Amino acid sequence: MIFTVIKLRPRGPFHIGEREDWKEGSKTYIPSDTIFSALCHSYLLLYGEVDSLLKGFIDGNPPFIISSAFPYWQQSYFFPVPKNQIPSDKELKKIQFIELIGLRRLLCGERLDDIKGEIKTIPYFDHGGLIFPWKMENVPRVGLSRWTNHPGENFFHFGQVTYQGDAGLFLLIDFKNNSLDEKLLAAFNLLAQEGVGGNRTNGRGLFYKPEVSEIRIDTAEYDGVYSISMYYPSIPEIPGIAKAFYELGDRKGYIYSPSGQSLRRRSIRMFIEGSVFPNDKKRVGTIVDVTPDAFNAHRVYRYGYMFPIPCRLEVI
């Protein structure tokens, strides 16, 4: 299977929020629904409308699907460890991403315990220490009251991630009918300039001009599928999930639109990247209407289509 690769090299720190009480951390990668939202916003800014891009997704016939944006480091692409891998070694449980060559072996049913030391991972284990291609910082922040302009006790920490020079992020695109056209490429170019994630007005989340290439992932037909995107099932897709290996994540946040940016979108729960499901041709996901009741300018959607790669449902 051949997919289009979009490489995004960060210009500086970015923030993909994960709030825990008074601390707002950041993911080290960018989920597919966040990428899709930013892409739609860029498309709207460029062409004055986004309905033509959204139509196929809303109708259940997406013209393309996208993955989340995962790390690349030097010449290697890294993917989340499949959730059907349950290592017995506690050190292996610290692995967040695995290089493509190792991923292929895991998708074919090998165990992570058996191939450790033969594959590249993030973090990289070096004499007992853990090495990452990024630096995570928690920056102290103060929130001011809108009524008194006084901070009171409204202190929190703001997480930001900075990738080192030979690392960055990449995402895959699987086109169903066509290839990357000029309009979509222009939207990705603007996305890099507009930024992704939080605190963009202060220069966070900006990228250099995206690099476009291709990648081949050789797979065979198996009894499972491994998702490299966030996934929200439609009602007919729910059967079979009991046999899956997965984690769930809350997806929430504010509307980012020229028509209004201060309202919260409806929150939903989604299956996170790396989840493994029984293979079912009807398991494709959907796009979810998360428009809040108080917002009437246009509909607000969250991208929930699965980017599936065939795999063994259970390891050997």
The range of the structural domain enclosing residue 207 comes to 2-122+134-148+159-311
Sequential pLDDT tens for the chain (316 residues) = 899 999 999 999 998 876 554 456 789 999 999 999 999 999 999 999 999 999 999 999 999 999 999 999 999 999 999 999 999 888 899 999 999 999 999 999 999 999 988 999 999 998 778 999 999 887 666 555 555 655 555 555 678 899 999 999 999 999 988 878 899 999 999 999 999 987 777 778 899 999 999 999 987 778 999 999 999 999 999 988 999 999 999 998 877 776 666 778 889 999 999 999 999 888 999 999 998 888 777 888 999 999 999 999 998 7
In a domain, 8, yes or no: yes
pTM reported for the whole predicted model? 0.91
Among residues 181, 218, 219, 209, the alpha carbon closest in space to that of 311 is found at 219
In a domain, 153, yes or no: no
In a domain, 316, yes or no: no
Number of domains in the chain: 1
In a domain, 62, yes or no: yes
In a domain, 258, yes or no: yes
Separation between Cα atoms, residue 195 and residue 271, nearest integer Å: 25
In a domain, 180, yes or no: yes
Query: Per residue in 131-158, pLDDT tens?
Result: 999 998 876 665 555 556 555 555 556 7
